Structure 1
Amino acid sequence: MLKCPECAAVLDVDEDEVEEGEILNCPECEVELEVVQINPVHLNVISDETDAEEDEEESEEGIDEKKKEEEEEQAEDEDEE
């Protein structure tokens, strides 16, 4: 019997059937859970904050790349003049 570490709801999953690294969803609070250990089974909540931080970093990287491209285009235009 597995329980959600976030809301303590019982998950309808047999401990023998899960694999390390597997992602489960809690039917009650709908968080994503990662199986981080098998014997005994240990679940970690996959944080939405982590996803938001990663998305923010990716968008910042995209902005930096766009700035570089614009600067390169300006330099090329200046060289042509």
Structure 2
Amino acid sequence: MLKCPECAAVLDVEEDEVEEGEIMSCPECEVELEVVQVNPVHLNVISDELEAEEEEEAGEEEFEAEEEEEEEEEDEDEALR
């Protein structure tokens, strides 16, 4: 019987069915959990900060791509003048 480390809800997963590195979510609090150890099973909450950092990095990449497009368009406009 596994319990969510965040809200202590019982997870419908057998201890012998999980693998190290497996990601699952709690049906009660919806937090994502990673199996970091299998004997005994130990679950860690996947940090929202990590997800936020990944989203921020993706946003920065999109912003840089948009800036490059704008610069290319400006260069094309200048070439047409």
Q: With the length of structure 2 as denominator, give the TM-score of the two structures.
A: 0.80
Matched positions, count: 81
Q: Which consecutive residues of structure 1, in runs of 5 or more, have no partner in the other structure? A: none
C-alpha deviation, 1:32, in angstroms: 1.3
Q: Which runs of 4+ in 1 moved over 3 A?
A: none
- Comparing 61-70 with 7-16, greater Cα deviation is found at 7-16
SS at 2:75 equivalent? helix
SS at 1:44 equivalent? strand
RMSD, aligned α-carbons: 1.7
Q: With the length of structure 1 as denominator, give the TM-score of the two structures.
A: 0.80
C-alpha deviation, 1:14, in angstroms: 1.1
SS at 2:28 equivalent? coil
**Alignment match, 1:21:** 21
Corresponding letter in the other structure for 1:17: E
Identity %: 74
Cα deviation digits, residues 36-72 of structure 1 (max 9, x gap):
2212211111223322221122112111111111112
- Comparing 71-80 with 17-26, greater Cα deviation is found at 71-80
